[in-house]
Structure 1
Amino acid sequence: MNGSDYFPQRYPLDAFLMLVRTTAWELQQKVQAPDALIGMGLIAGMATACQGLFDVKLPTGQCRPTSLNLIAIAESGERKSTVDALVFAPLYEHDCRKAKAFQAALDSYQAKRELWEARGQGLRNRLAKAVSKGEATEAIQAEMAQHTTLKPTKPRLRRFMRQNITPRAIMDTLRGDGESIAITTDEGQVMFKGETMAQLGLLNKAWDGAPMLTLDRADFDNVLVMNPRVTISIMTQKQVLQAYLMKHGDIAKGSGHWARYLFGWPESMKGFRSVNTDEHVWECLPLFQARMQELLEKYEAISESGEVKREVVEFSDDAKARWFELSQQTEWMLRPGDYLNDIHDFASKIMELLGRLAAVFHCYSGEEGKVTLDTLERAFTVVQWHLEEYKRMFSPQFALSQGQVDAQAVFKYLRDSVWQGPRSDTYVPKNHVRQYGPVRDRDRLNAALRILEAQRALWVVVAPRGKQRFVRLSDWYFGGGL
């Protein structure tokens, strides 16, 4: 994973359809979290709500899930938990209601089970007595057979949101046909240091929507999973992800697991937020949440009916033509030396990701008919942003030198502590930067300053009288000219 968090592009929130776009703007204004954190949170929420109800038929004819995997990188204090709580509120509320109802059903089941077992024991006692006396047992055996059919069914807790879940628990959760869950966390350490990421093959098959998964246990309690739907949303700190990559990065990339994710590493908002003392009045977010609640209720209804049959969404003719055009362009860019050659793993999934995301946009926004060209183009804008993120994070040619890493750190220090500091200075003594800044080594600091000078971000100048050197900040560069 490269350290290139250097001027990431703004997240294309404007590409969302109206209901989600206005919600994104409202969250950005009131929460003031990084834009990609908001956008990716909304995508995860939409995918979770849609995946149990809709599949997408790609222009190639393949029928695929609308599930999506996302990893957003943001440090502590970026309001990950706030975004998570607001976007996923209907899902958490749904799970709370289900948990309470499940507990009541479980109490009833246990009482019925005890009564059933007591009656069974009574029948066994009668049978044993009849056998000991040499009496006929046919009637008792018939009663026992009938009693077996009356065994109470243990209730099942169906909830969407899962966090630190083991691979075995994933199989138990998805047991049956058409189950839908979301594995989410706003603290990536929970997932990366837990057992969830221990079986990447299982997670890959879940993303693929495998027709059947099996788990054969020693006690013959075999688990059968058919047509599962799983969305994964991870908000994590850089160090946590890097620690995981150091140990398991080659496997995650080599197995194609990372290629199934939309990655995002937005620039921090800390130090750039405005303080608003007014109480938040939400206008758009409740509409987004209401749509999610509507979709959850529809899924709950079909799930309880015992037959999960998803609607298959298709593309309009002009959207199909555009999809094939983009697919051909992607293929060309896989050639040696071309733009996608060094991230061919992600490029191999990009058209499917595009189709899934376009279908999610279409279904969540309640669009009628087939997915339009406009919706496909909107989804393409978002996927393209994530492609650039994947490239700058994982492409070998985008790896930064130590001087570039130091230049980033020095730039951020000068921006936050000098340009936007209490005195809003444009000049600062070079020794001050060395003493209080992030790079204390003289040679490394000089190398970092030379890089920033080459970018016209600053100049190292000598005072008119004396030998003291100053760092002069560029008004154009620090003032937003980029």
Structure 2
Amino acid sequence: MQAHNYYAPTPCHPPANVPNPAGYPLKELGTLLAPAVIRHQVNTGVAVEMIASYARSISHVCVQDLFDVQRPRCAPSPVCAYDLVSADSSEGKDTASRPFIGFLRKYEEEQTELNAAAHLDRLADTAAWKAQMRALNKRLDQAATEGDDLKDLKIEHKQLIARRPDRAADPKLIVDNVTPGALENMIGAGSKSLFITSTEAGGLLNGRLGRSTDLLNNAWDATPIPKDRVDKERTFAIDYRVSGHLALQGPVLQSIFARTGHLAHGSGLTARMLLTVPHSTLGNRFLRSDQSATFDEIDALGERVTALLKEGAARRQRAEARRIIVFSEQAARYFDDTYNHIQANLGRGQILHDVAAHAGKSAEQIARIAGMLYGIEGREGPLQVDVLERARIIGYWHLDQFLAHFGSGQPGDQRVIDGQVVRQALVTIASRGLGYIARGEVKKWCTKPLTTVRFDQAMQLLIDQGYVLLHKRGRTLLVAANLWR
């Protein structure tokens, strides 16, 4: 296939009976995911793109502990995904999520019941081990007090430490209210596969976990995470996988990014998120007495998700490595074309420049989506170009969403909002006949308090757009409003 010479997702035409004003590429989800999404939309009337985000997200979860994907000339990467949905109250976030999150909750409950006896055994083993340790510590204390040789007791202590039972815990998959420390503990206990989710994620993003961007970034990359404890040796969380799906109301998202957006964007957290801003269905979701809900397609997806989750758990028990999905020769060339195409649109003056941090991750996001499709559909052999092309279309749709929400001049661009404040200050200064003044003085005229970072970003945007005249006096750079702009 030839490289694309302009940035635009390939159009998709979903079934006529499914409202899809945002043009979500439904058919690219394939013959298992797409029918489940369509069926849930027909049953509920909720925005199809929001339903699709949940269906795709849980599909990443069920394959993330079975597969890694290896892009050309790169080390294997996880197939995990972070999703962020911005939808206002009563738009059906809980309704959209219910059957798909329900697959995971049902699996979790079944595993807890199956592990009930083993859980009690582990509790008993742990209690017995602690009793042995207390007794041994008393013998060590006594021997040290009496000046006896401690050599044999130290060997016995090492042997007992090595026999420490695994911590008794219910199998955990869904994490919906977690602190950074708790997340580190869960992924630090060995090979774990977790899913962070919330349909009202404002509290989570405003809280400690939302500010722990390094931890969340490392979790997306499955990077070993060190954990230091007082008087204990350093440990590492390794061989884990974490996906996430966070949904919150639009005003809450705007409020969070108005205060801390620079942290999320600058840290790379939003670069790792597949954004969905669904169209409003308020006033259009009517009940009909002649309509009956059916769930065959949804149940079929649930059976596949459960089977893959069980397969992942069995792999861990056997201590086997995850399967690595490699690219076919044709898919590798197509991936290079896609990567280069995105890169060509990242430069200054190009359409993706203002969201370069996010767009720069798009090629990897596409590879992860392709890995998810490969796993959920039970593919064998190298990744073929047809799967990669479907993943590219889905990835580009989410990239479009991010560009529309956070690109320059869009409602979510905090620089534009702050730029209006700074420009009004410059106009006020000009109306007083003050002419050129130092940048720092302009900040004092702003009617809304701005941090230094936000003021500098807004000023640079105004300069780039030609709203500011510059004048150098010695080593000082002075500014004034360009009233002719």
Assess same fold via TM > 0.5: yes
Deviations 1:441-472 (A, max 9, x none): xxxxxxxxxxxxxxxxxxxxxxxxxxxxxxxx
Q: Please say if residues 123 and 168 of structure 2, whose CA atoms lie closer than 8 Å, have aligned partners that are also in contact.
A: no
Inter-partner Cα distance in structure 1 for 2:65 and 2:407: 34
Amino acid at match of 1:362: Y
Whether the 8 Å CA contact 1:55–1:66 is kept in 2: the answer is yes
Find 1:268's aligned residue among 259, 269, 280.
Answer: 280
Shift of the alpha carbon at 1:28? 1.1
Shift of 1:68: 0.7
Matches within 5 A, 1:360-371: 360-371=372-383
Name the CA distance, whole Å, in 2 between partners of 1:109 and 1:312. 33
Shift of 1:316: 2.0
Q: Secondary structure at the match of 1:300?
A: helix
Any residues of structure 2 matched to 1:330-479 within 5 Å, and which? 330-399=342-411
Q: Give the deviation of 1:285 after TM superposition.
A: 0.6
1:201 alignment partner AA: D
For 2:147 and 2:342, locate their aligned partners in 1 and report how far apart those are by CA, in whole Å.
Answer: 81
Counterpart of 1:198 in structure 2 is 211
SS at structure 2 position matched to 1:45: helix
Cα 1:142–1:264 change in 2 (3 A) is closer
- How many residues are aligned here? 394
Q: Is the CA contact 2:44–2:285 (under 8 Å) kept in the aligned structure 1? A: no
Name the structure 2 match of 1:326: 338
Change (3 A) 1:108 1:62: closer
Following TM superposition, by how much is the alpha carbon of 1:121 offset from its aligned partner in structure 2, in angstroms? 5.7
Distance 1:218 1:29, change over 3 A: same
- Asked whether 1:55 is paired with 2:76, we answer no
Match of 1:456 in 2: none
Task: Tell me: CA distance 1:399–1:105, structure 2 relative to 1, closer, same or farther (3 Å).
Answer: same
Task: Measure, in 1, the Cα distance between the counterparts of 2:392 and 2:151.
Answer: 70
Contact 2:25/2:397 (8 A) holds in 1: yes
Counterparts of 2:144 and 2:191, CA distance in 1: 48
Deviations 1:421-441, CA, capped at 9 Å, x for gaps: xxxxxxxxxxxxxxxxxxxxx
Question: Residue 310 of structure 1 corresponds to which residue in structure 2?
Answer: 322
Q: What does residue 247 of structure 1 align with?
A: 259
Give secondary structure in 2 for the equivalent of 1:55: strand
Once the two structures are TM-superposed, the CA of residue 175 in structure 1 deviates from its matched residue by 0.9
CA deviations over 1:36-89 (Å, ceiling 9, x no partner): 111110111011111111000112333111011110111222221122220122
Deviation at 1:320, TM superposition (A): 1.8
1:95 maps to which of 108, 111, 121: 108
Q: Which amino acid aligns with 2:85?
A: A
Residue 225 (str. 1) matches residue 237 (str. 2): yes
Equivalent in the alignment of 1:84: 97
Deviation of 1:267 after TM superposition, in Å, equals 1.0
CA distance in 1, matches of 2:149, 2:210: 59
Deviations 1:199-234 (A, max 9, x none): 101111111121x21011223263311133111111
Q: Structure 1's 149 and 60: CA in aligned 2 closer, same or farther, altered over 3 A?
A: closer
Conserved in 2, the CA contact under 8 Å of 1:164 and 1:196? no
SS of 1:52's equivalent in the other structure is: coil
Matched with 1:70 is 83
- Give the conservation status (yes or no) of the 8 Å contact 1:263–1:389: yes
Residue 432 of structure 1 corresponds to none
- The change in CA–CA distance for 1:342 and 1:104 in structure 2 (over 3 A counts) is same
Which stretch of structure 1 is more off in the superposition, 244-253 or 80-89? Answer: 80-89
The CA distance in 1 between the partners of 2:138 and 2:357, in whole Å, is 65
Mapped to 2, the partners of 1:139 and 1:399 lie a distance apart of 71
Which ranges of structure 2 fall in alignment gaps of 5 or more residues?
Answer: 1-19, 418-485
In the superposition, the TM-score normalised over structure 1's length comes to 0.74
TM-superposed CA distance for 1:400, in Å, is 8.8
Q: Distance in 2 between matches of 1:263 and 1:141?
A: 56
Query: Quick one: distance in 1 between partners of 2:147 and 2:240?
Result: 54
Structure 1: where are the runs of 5+ without partners? Answer: 1-6, 406-482
Take 1:144 and 1:387, find their aligned partners in 2: how far apart are those partners? 56
Q: Deviations over 1:114-149 (max 9, x none)?
A: 445556666777899999999999999988777666
Matches of 2:136 and 2:350, distance apart in 1: 76
Give the Cα–Cα distance (whole angstroms) in 2 for the partners of residues 393 and 132 of structure 1: 70
The answer to whether the aligner puts 1:298 opposite 2:297 as a matched pair is no
